[in-house]
Amino acid sequence: MDLCETPLVQLRQMLDTGNVTAKEVVYSFYERIQRVQEPLRPYVHLMPIRDMMIQADDADDWLRTGRAGVLTGIPIAVKSSISVKDMPTDCASAMLEGYRPPYDAEVVHNLRECGAIVLGLTDMDEFAMGNTCLTSVHGGSKNPWAPERIPGGSSGGSAVAVSSGCAAAALGTDTGGSIRQPAAFCNLVGLLPTYGTASRFGHVAYGSSLEQISPMTRTVEDAAFLLDAMMGESTGDSTCRLHEGDDFSLMAEGEMEPFRVGWCPAWDAENLDKDVCQALEKARTVFENLGAEIVEIDLPHLQHAVAAYYLVAMAEASSNLARFDGMRFGKSERKKSLQESYRATRQGFGEETRRRILMGTFALTEGAYKDYYRKAAQVRALIRQDFMTAFESCEVILAPVSPSLPMLRDEAENVDPLTSYLADMYTVPANLAGICAMSLPCGRTKIGLPIGMQLMAAPFREDLLLKSGMAYQGYTLWHVRTAPIDKSGLSGPIPLIP
């Protein structure tokens, strides 16, 4: 296995025991990036090779002198909506073209404190709105398992970076599924921690009451490891809880007792893709073999989750994105009158973003508020209640991630917005309810596309997610397979990165 395809925790051990140097590790990732950046486009901004090597040299120095942190020498990719000092954090939007934050987001700061080498920023759907990576002004990344297909979104570039061996792990954000769905499409683990776990300070907000910055990794063990490194004392996010003595890696260890896995029978009857359905059936059998009891649960209000989510998310987006008015942040078009300047400036948003700002603004108007926004907030409370009741009879819930498989890029470009929103039906409930959830590889279709499954647990019960995920990965090999980089015709001449 190439170094660039090695899980993070294993890389850590190899670096600590001196089996490899940080320079070798970084070079392996660099070489892979050179091969796949052009055909798959995971990154929209990359650190120059000279700087990568300087940081690798420093890392080797720290390792030699016993000053290494838990991420010393480990290359990490970051989604373009998470501020990285002096890197163009443009949220894949023309609105923020050329914007370079003067500071690191708190999670990025924490990773760097642990020694991480932040290689660059990854492509995404514009302002994290979408599930294809195609609403990006940069054109979107391609799925390493089938480059003619989408990698999912919105954190598509981060998923591609890890899956294709261009980063050992990545940060994404999840407002309604944006790490879990691309993780499922690219054979990775995507962990959405409970709302309030990771600091959102320095993240360009889309739906503030829904989203978390989250790890995307090859294994469950890596996800716990990265989450530990992301934690720190948050001074900038008042919704972030204190982390005294938390240790996610430790939480992942040990047996589940009791171990009851909830399954909603209604999902069998829904419009799930046949391959997805079969993979989930097999996953249930694996859990049974692991000693779990499968229990039936009922989540009666889940059918309204997509409607409630899109109302809340759009309303929050309309208010979060109001700051991009040409006066304070973002693109600025100066015209004869103030009105004209605003109008010209706001054209910097892409079509989907504009659609959401308009609908969100409408949902918050005096006449519509009671019928739409308030109703959505009420439904949200009912959905949370459904989950709390379900968690009285099970430790984790097993669910699909996406009802369908990664679409062809051409197909995805022509999907109508409503159909696209409905594809989020299994991921948005966790964000609405403020619980934790994780997607992990659980199968492959006949044509070799990865399939993911989702585990959900009660708020702040990441220990249950991690333990059951570890048990599953101890029993199966889906997560071990790497994307067929050479077979996808990506091994041609090495393109040079500007």
Any idea which residues carry the catalytic annotation? 79, 154, 178
Q: Which of 175, 353, 468, 482 binds ligand GLN (CB under 6 A)?
A: 175
CB under 6 A: which stretch of 171-179, 248-256, 338-346, 360-368 binds ligand GLN?
171-179
Q: Give me the least distance between CB of 177 and ligand GLN, in Å please.
A: 5
Cβ atoms of 449 and 405 within 8 Å: the answer is yes
The string of DSSP codes covering 407-462 is PBHHHHHT--HHHHHHTTTTTHHHHHHT-EEEEEEEEE-TT--EEEEEEEESTT-H
Cβ atoms of 443 and 275 within 8 Å: the answer is yes
With binding defined as CB under 6 A, does residue 177 bind ligand GLN? yes
With binding defined as CB under 6 A, does residue 144 bind ligand GLN? no
**Nearest residue (CB) to ligand GLN, 174 versus 221:** 174
Q: Round to whole Å and give the CA distance between 316 and 127.
A: 12
The encoded tokens of residue 244 equal: 């005294």
CA neighbours within 13 Å on the CB side: how many for 333?
Answer: 16
Element holding 262 (H helix, E strand): strand 260-263
* Burial of residue 477, with CB atoms counted within 10 A of its CB: 0-12 exposed, 13-18 middle, 19 or more buried: exposed
Q: Give me the least distance between CB of 175 and ligand GLN, in Å please.
A: 4
Q: Interaction with ligand GLN in 406-465: which residues (CB under 6 A)?
A: 424
**Nearest residue (CB) to ligand GLN, 21 versus 154:** 154
CB under 6 A: which stretch of 17-25, 176-184, 213-221, 409-417 binds ligand GLN?
176-184
**Nearest residue (CB) to ligand GLN, 425 versus 451:** 425
* Burial of residue 341, with CB atoms counted within 10 A of its CB: 0-12 exposed, 13-18 middle, 19 or more buried: middle
Residues 6+ apart with CB under 8 A from 483: 144, 145, 163, 164, 165, 186, 187
Q: For ligand GLN, what does the binding mask look like between residues 202 and 231, x meaning CB under 6 A?
A: ----x-------------------------
The encoded tokens of residue 159 equal: 């998923």
Cβ atoms of 235 and 201 within 8 Å: the answer is yes
Q: Give me the least distance between CB of 104 and ligand GLN, in Å please.
A: 21
Q: Which of 156, 176, 202, 215 binds ligand GLN (CB under 6 A)?
A: 176
Tell me the residue length of the chain. 498
**Nearest residue (CB) to ligand GLN, 29 versus 349:** 349
**Nearest residue (CB) to ligand GLN, 83 versus 482:** 83
**Nearest residue (CB) to ligand GLN, 146 versus 313:** 313
**Nearest residue (CB) to ligand GLN, 26 versus 189:** 189
Q: How many residues bind ligand GLN (CB under 6 A)?
A: 14
CB under 6 A: which stretch of 169-177, 220-228, 445-453, 477-485 binds ligand GLN?
169-177
Q: Round to whole Å and give the CA distance between 341 and 333.
A: 6
Sign (positive or negative) of CA dihedral 466, 467, 471, 474: positive
Q: For ligand GLN, what does the binding mask look like between residues 117 and 136, x meaning CB under 6 A?
A: -----------xxxx-----
Residue nearest to ligand GLN (CB): 178
Q: Give me the least distance between CB of 356 and ligand GLN, in Å please.
A: 8
Task: Give Cα separations from 120 to 30, 57, 79, 190, 349 (angstroms).
Answer: 11, 18, 9, 19, 23
CB under 6 A: which stretch of 41-49, 111-119, 173-181, 358-366 binds ligand GLN?
173-181
Q: 422-455 burial string, b = 16+ CB within 10 Å, else e? A: ebbbbbbbbbbbbbbbbbbbbbbbeeebbbbbbb
Q: Round to whole Å and give the CA distance between 137 and 53.
A: 30
Q: Residue 437: name the closest of 118, 208, 137, 195 by CA.
A: 195
**Nearest residue (CB) to ligand GLN, 22 versus 128:** 128
The encoded tokens of residue 260 equal: 């009851």
CB under 6 A: which stretch of 56-64, 69-77, 174-182, 332-340 binds ligand GLN?
174-182
With binding defined as CB under 6 A, does residue 313 bind ligand GLN? yes
Which residues are at the interface with ligand GLN (CB under 6 A)? 128-131, 154, 173-178, 206, 313, 424
